[in-house]
Amino acid sequence: MKKNIITILLIISGFICTFAENRKSYYTLELTEVECNEIPANGSINNELQMGLSVNSFQDSIIGIIFEYEATHINFTLTNSAKKTLKINWNDMVLFMEGASHPVFHAGVKMSERCEEKASTSVMKGLSHSDMIIPCDMVTWWEYSGRFLYEFLLKSQSSSIPVKILFPIELNNQTYEYIFTFNAKYNAGKVKVVMVNGGMWEYVEVK
């Protein structure tokens, strides 16, 4: 009986890996607008493709940030361009896509605590912090595989999918609510997806 269960689990796991690695669709994002409640977000926006995958960046007098969209999460590197330490407010950060808002968590947060209150991340002036944005409600425990499963962020096959990130920054006792607006595009080309960090999926290179 145990051998049969193990065999079934191996088949299912193999099917998942095969599906992911042969996935023929992917998404590219274009950063189209940046808003901020406290200051005119009149910095510079840059969009480019690296190995066929989107890299989006923004720079103003407070922050410099680079986003890299992945299948199950969004990687970013934030640089503090201000003259004092700033903080990332994870509790108020929101990812909006396909008509729904999602609270998020980030690297280093225990899965059992991903929906609870989170400590801010401090970034000293002139330094950078790399992390990821993961929707709290798009991760589920799969008992049969003994691990968490991360849903792919986007599912629509549209050429124009609005994606927004509310990214609150605390500086000098003020909260700067940056809103990054992206246009996501479905691509039917070939791309390989590999598993990282025990269940998340990342794009490799578009072929």
Task: Provide the pLDDT for residue 68.
Answer: 97
Residue 195 has pLDDT above 60, yes or no: yes
- Cβ atoms of 153 and 162 within 8 Å: the answer is no
- Mean pLDDT for all residues in the chain: 86
Assign 40 a pLDDT band (cuts: 50, 70, 90): low
Bridge pairing between strands 147-150 and 139-142: antiparallel
